[in-house]
Amino acid sequence: MMARLFSADLRGIEAVLVEVEVDVQLGMPAYTTVGLPDAAVKESRERVRGAVLNSGFLFPAEQITVNLAPADVRKEGSHHDLAIACALLAATAQLSSGEASRGLLAGELALNGTLRPVKGILPVALLARQQGRRLLCPAANAAEAAVVEGCEVIPLGTLAQAVRFLRGEEVVAPHPHRPFEALLEDPPTRLDFSDVRGQLHVKRALEVAAAGGHNVLLLGPPGSGKSMLAKRFPSILPPMSFPEALETTRVHSVRGELAGTRDGMVTLRPFRAPHHTVSYAGMIGGGANVLPGEISLAHHGVLFLDELTEFKRDVLESLRQPLEDRQVTVARARETLTFPAAFTLLAASNPCPCGYHGDPSRACRCTPAQIARYLSKISGPLMDRVDLQIEVTAVPPETLREAPAGEPSAPVRVRVAAARARQRERLARTGVFSNAQMDEKLVDAHCALVPEAEAFLLRALKALGITARGHHRILKVARTIADLEGSAAIAPPHLAEAVQYRSLDRKLFGN
């Protein structure tokens, strides 16, 4: 006898429907799984056997064939266990397949029949809604899946409970859906801009970066506050919209990194700070079972690279394409997967090997050749993609002791959110949400200059030798500064501030 139920498999951050067919025939006892299963799927045989027997059901001593269709696509993970077990029980007349075939089943089985949570349940819930099916999943995954409005999520604790529910012997209430507004969290108050004494020009630059989604490099000696400022940067970022939160949650769901999030959804912008020893695959994504990397986990948030020059050259250069396209494509022999990567790059570095080049209070011990070699680890093309290059100087002791507390993050965040609202209104129906994401056509359309501003920009470009890409980035930053002031036009003061944020191009990098 044969039974067919439905499960799902992950392809990047998308879920695809998988038909789970189980055929039981008379013959020598055997259990075969076909349909390009990986090791975790093959090992489901023992998990299913133990769960079925320990849940009080019969496990047939016959020829059992499990087929996962489509057969030419590799199946990965342990989330097919529940569908395989229920299909086996249906094939042996211990369960009616009619009711079970209306749903989409996903969950890993323990040997005692308990359902364990699985990765990627949010994309699976989106697929279930698209297919018009209800989702049967582990109770630990239910809050995450119920984020999808219109998807009926049935939380289950054991295989036995799943069978009773499908037989109609037990009523299990669907997990309630909560509107996105009820899930929003306020940013943490533990790290606040008011903690930083002095550094007004750096805090202003970070406000501009947050308002327009611009990439930033902080360059300064050790102890000048680069990391302290960077860790407080998320506190001034605007709240996430529902589409941003949903897409970000999908990435984290696939990686299984939603433990501890409120109601199974990422509602605060991610702040990822990988160590400088991170591998190419760890940054970009990859592995035997291709998973998103740090740049995708920072989607709609911040990727903080401390000690930028200590990262491997190939890892840094791999950021160039995602910074432009806001996505990354991982190619393998069997498949090519695309992950979103619309992040804000926030980097920090010393200006030289000893760290004190240009510091008025400490003498630098490095030769010009050593400094040039040190900074050459950051390539010109990568620097072209950094909108704001900020020199951070050490704070004098008297400022640390006597200066009053700075402006808190909350009012800065209000200004940033207002500037972002202006950008969304101006860029409606363009597919982008911030000034940093504008391409050349949008820059030309929305960054027109009055004659006096045009003349000022030409003089600055000639004096600094800025590239074409740098020219467009100056215009985008100037547009953001104007948005912070509520100005419809870009004036010369806006351009002057934007140009000074690229002064390190010539001073240190020779670009």
| pLDDT class of 339 with cuts at 50, 70, 90 | very high
* Average pLDDT over the chain, rounded to an integer: 89
Domain termination site, one of 111, 132, 167: 167
Q: Are residues 213 and 163 in the same domain?
A: no
The predicted model gives 490-502 an average pLDDT of: 89
The pTM assigned to this predicted structure is: 0.87
Whether residue 262 is predicted with pLDDT greater than 70 in this model: the reply is: no
The residue-averaged pLDDT of 79-107 equals 92
| Low-confidence winner among 113-117, 161-165, 456-460, 464-468 (lowest mean pLDDT) | 464-468
Q: Does residue 69 form part of some domain?
A: yes
pLDDT at 491 over 80: yes
**Is residue 407 domain-shared with residue 345, that is, in the same domain?**
yes
Do 109 and 234 share a domain, yes or no? no
C-alpha to C-alpha distances, 123 to 11, 135, 144, 335, nearest whole angstrom? 10, 11, 10, 19
Predicted pLDDT at 376: 84
Q: Examine the domain organization and report whether 301 and 427 are in the same domain.
A: yes
162 and 200 belong to one structural domain: no
* Residue 187 pLDDT level (bands cut at 50, 70, 90): low
Answer whether residue 41 is part of any domain.
Answer: yes
- Same domain? For 221 and 332 the reply is yes
pLDDT band at 507 (very low <50, low <70, confident <90, very high): low
> What is the spatial distance between Cα 496 and Cα 490, in angstroms, rounded to a whole number?
11
What number of other Cβ atoms are within 10 A of residue 100's Cβ? Answer: 24
3-class DSSP state of 380: helix
Note the pLDDT of residue 260.
Answer: 45
Decide: 395 and 511 in contact? Cβ < 8 Å: no
Looking at residues 69-85, what average pLDDT do you find?
Answer: 91
**Rounded-to-integer distance, Cα 382 and Cα 311, Å:** 13
> What residue type is 98 in one-letter code?
G
Question: Do 208 and 104 fall into the same domain?
Answer: no
Q: How many structural domains compose the chain?
A: 2
The reply to whether 181 falls in a domain is no
Domain that holds residue 110: 2-167
pLDDT value of residue 312: 93
Query: What pLDDT is recorded for position 440?
Result: 87
Which pLDDT score is estimated for 511?
Answer: 46
Mean pLDDT within 290-308: 94
Token code pair at residue 276: 């400088």
Residues 137 and 253 in one domain: no
User: Mean pLDDT over residues 166-180, rounded?
Assistant: 90
User: Which whole number is the average pLDDT over 417-438?
Assistant: 90
Burial class (CB in 10 A: 0-12, 13-18, 19+), 504: buried
| Same domain assignment for residues 287 and 366 | yes
CATH code at position 114: 3.30.230.10
Please report which helix (H) or strand (E) contains residue 68, including its range: strand 63-69
- For residue 233, give the CATH number of its domain: 3.40.50.300
Asked if residue 405 has pLDDT above 90, the reply is: no
In a domain, 426, yes or no: yes
State yes or no: pLDDT of 185 exceeds 70. Answer: no
pLDDT of residue 399: 67
Domain boundary among 152, 167, 182: 167
Residue 460 belongs to some domain of the structure: yes
- Is the residue at 188 inside a domain? no
Task: Tell me the C-alpha distance between 25 and 337, whole Å.
Answer: 39
Note the pLDDT of residue 432: 84
Q: Is residue 363 part of a domain?
A: yes
pLDDT at 21: 96
Residue 508 has pLDDT above 60, yes or no: no
494 pLDDT band, cuts 50/70/90, is very high
Q: What is the reported pLDDT for 509? A: 53
Residue 496 has pLDDT above 60, yes or no: yes
Q: Are residues 120 and 249 in the same domain?
A: no
Residues 302 and 397 occupy one common structural domain: yes
Q: Which DSSP string do the residues of 243-272 spell out, in sequence order? A: HHHHHHHHHHHHHT--TT-GGGS--S--EE
Mean pLDDT of 180-198: 75
186 domain residue, yes or no:
no
Q: What's the rounded Cα separation, in Å, for the pair 87 and 93?
A: 10
Residues 243 and 117 in one domain: no
- Residue 460's H or E segment, with its range, is helix 451-464
